[in-house]
Amino acid sequence: MSALPRASELGLIACPVCGLVCRTVVGDERLDGDGIDDAMACPRCNTTLKRRKPNSYMRTWALLIAAFLLYIPANLLPIMRTASLNDIDDNTIISGVVELWVKGSPGLAVIVFTASIVVPMLKFFALSMLLVTSQRGSGWARVQRARLFRLVEFIGYWSMLDVFVVALLTALVRFSVLSRVEPLPGVIFFGLTVVLTMFASMSFDPRLIWDGRDTDD
């Protein structure tokens, strides 16, 4: 046992909801189950106790791939239509960023670019990398990987920014034939992408980063 004991080695388990530390039997297989047979419940809040989030790899991969599939139409399809008397203009996420940049708000363009493009891409790369390295039991850069996961969890929901921008502009720009903004399907795909990536990062268990062969403690 290393200097920093881990709960599974001591026969302890932390409740994922209330944080209570509970004593278990070391090696009790029911605690590694898939969540259907809830063998043990937290005595304080009655949440089912598991050593790790059930089927973490499978669920996270599934949600991540689904999110990525939706992210393709989210970027290719226009998210918003601006219509005026003599002109109809369909905007994609990228064209919205470019427009902000050209019209003299480079600062906001950078923020929108970060929220809509950098953050989702970072989530796809970071979570895939974390999944692959953890599945291999890699001991590489564990502290940095743990930090990366916390970053992904923390910034994830900011991607919703563009969805709210489209919604607000749609509600505001309704000047009969003179000028109108309408949402287009891209924004729906984008909203769903954000929700699915949030579920993906929630279903990843960061403890798996530390579960492989112990090489660096």
Closest CA to 197 of 88, 24, 40, 62: 62
Token pair 């994830």 is found at: 156
Tally of CB atoms within 10 A around 31 = 19
Close Cβ partners of 120 (under 8 Å, ≥ 6 residues apart):
71, 159, 193, 194, 197
CB of 2 to other proteins, least distance (A): 9
CB of 106 to other proteins, least distance (A): 11
> N- to C-terminal Cα distance for the chain?
10
CB of 141 to other proteins, least distance (A): 12
Alpha-carbon distances, residue 59 vs 66, 145, 149, 178 (angstroms): 11, 19, 16, 48
CB of 13 to other proteins, least distance (A): 8
Nearer to other proteins, 55 or 81 (CB): 81
CB of 58 to other proteins, least distance (A): 20
Nearer to other proteins, 62 or 151 (CB): 151
Nearer to other proteins, 68 or 162 (CB): 162
Nearer to other proteins, 5 or 76 (CB): 5
Beta bridge mates, 174: 180
Nearer to other proteins, 46 or 135 (CB): 46
Rg (CA), the chain: 22
